Structure 1
């Protein structure tokens, strides 16, 4: 992020109505326009957290983020640039029913419409461009996705400062802060299951997430560094099981193991290998890559992949 730009995030919120996709537009009170739900990043937030929060604040609907659908850029007064990141976000029937939205000083009303109608109704060309990227996912039959998130453990005490077994190396003070900071961003993508290497630094990285979800951590040595160094790791088995499950999951592992996990993910989904795999696996501590996979056709390839750097 640059200091001079204004950053915001939002989404193309969608639902199925009698088998047909409808997207959500907001009618803003002050500007008397029709746009996609979005808002500025609050201090300390990631873009993903902003998108989820702003969608809920403007529409009353709680969502988890799907595949990214683009970035809009335009200039504000005094030559400042506004940069808005968008994701597709499904509104379940339960989430729509639970919405407590009422017209207010910011949002006068909500409108569900077909993609074709929304193109005509939206007030700004930059919003139409985002809608077109969303429509491309719809046309390809990969709109409904689930995330498989590959997470590198948080910062651990260095080997030089640790006299015990490597698998028992604890988190450093910075790592403890990172483990707390990643909870919000991971929840933004709807993570419901945690699979981790049994190494202490991995388990402690996802312990705050486990507490937030109220779910246990599934430990497997098949993605541990010790097993990898001994030639006994099996990322293929772990990745294959998670792809078949078609449920949001985070896999917490180690730097040397991550390339194997991403390579097996590409193979399991029929995705052509490329340099993007190296970029997605070359993670700093507490960074993660989100691979969005089609729920209906997981073997059709990775729909998109995005990497999120640590904020601590």
Structure 2
């Protein structure tokens, strides 16, 4: 299984947003950079079999932008296991229900994505790991996504992904 962890794009600043935090959207710049980062993923021929997204607006918008770049329609599955405060183990448990040959795009938030990446890679939290907005990492697991079973394929910033587009 290949697990892509993709952080949502640039969102409206917290102090500039008057609505509920869960509904804070991407900015126009965030949408554009997300689209370009997604084109970088496709340049690497990384096509998903599954797309999972946090229910928060900015992550759902990011997932929709990435989905629109694909030649075939892959449904977006909204899951609370990608919410910012979710237990990283819950996402690992969800991933174990997917086929071992799946290519799963997980769109979410920091520090949750990095914590989950650290759990897959080492079996524990790894301080220092961090995904930039519209950045991504790819972790390969041979069979099921269990703590400590992952192998890091790459970890790229948004600007590196955009350069690949």
Kindly indicate whether residue 53 of structure 2 is the aligned counterpart of residue 196 of structure 1: yes
- Looking at structure 2, the residues matched to 265 and 244 of structure 1 have their Cα atoms a distance apart, in angstroms, of 15
Q: Which has the higher strand share?
A: 1
**Superposed CA offset, 1:168-215 (max 9, x none):** 111112111122112223332232211111111001111122222412
Tell me if the contact between 1:196 and 1:202 (Cα under 8 Å) persists in the aligned partners: yes
User: How far apart, CA to CA, are the structure 1 residues paired with 2:123 and 2:28?
Assistant: 39
Deviation per residue, 1:27-83 (Å, 9 max, x gap): xxxxxxxxxxxxxxxxxxxxxxxxxxxxxxxxxxxxxxxxxxxxxxxxxxxxxxxxx
Q: 1:302–1:164: structure 2 CA closer, same or farther, 3 Å change rule?
A: same
Find 1:287's aligned residue among 118, 123, 135: 135
Which residue in 2 is equivalent to 1:96? none
Which residue of 2 is the match for residue 170 of structure 1? 25
**CA separation in 2, counterparts of 1:298 and 1:254?**
19
Q: Structure 1 residue 149 and structure 2 residue 149: aligned?
A: no
Q: Within 5 Å, which residues of 2 pair with 1:126-275?
A: 146-187=1-42, 188-211=45-68, 212=70, 213-225=72-84, 228=85, 233-245=86-98, 246=100, 247-266=102-121, 271=122, 273=124
Alignment partners' CA distance in 2, 1:273 and 1:224:
19
Instruction: Tell me: CA distance 1:263–1:287, structure 2 relative to 1, closer, same or farther (3 Å).
Output: same
* Structure 2 spans left out of the alignment, 5+ residues: none
Q: Per-residue displacement from partner, 1:223-254 (whole Å, max 9, x unpaired)?
A: 212xx1xxxx2331222221442211011111
TM-score w.r.t. structure 1 length? 0.44
Match of 1:65 in 2: none
- Contact 2:114–2:131, Cα closer than 8 Å, also in 1: no
TM-score (norm 2): 0.80
1:93 maps to which residue? none
Separation in structure 2 between the aligned mates of residue 156 and residue 237 of structure 1, nearest angstrom: 25
CA distance in 2, matches of 1:298, 1:258: 14
Which of the two has higher C-alpha Rg?
A: 1
Residue number among 150, 153, 159 corresponding to 1:305 in the alignment: 153
For residues 32 and 79 of structure 2, the distance between their equivalents in structure 1, rounded to whole angstroms, comes to: 24
Partners of 1:288 and 1:308 within 8 A in 2: yes
Q: Give 5+ residue unaligned stretches, structure 1.
A: 1-145
CA RMSD, Structure 1 to Structure 2 (Å): 2.3
- How far apart in 2 are the matches of 1:272 and 1:238? 14
| Contact in 2 for aligned 1:149/1:290 (Cα 8 Å) | yes
Alignment of structure 1 residues 82-93 onto 2, 5 Å: none
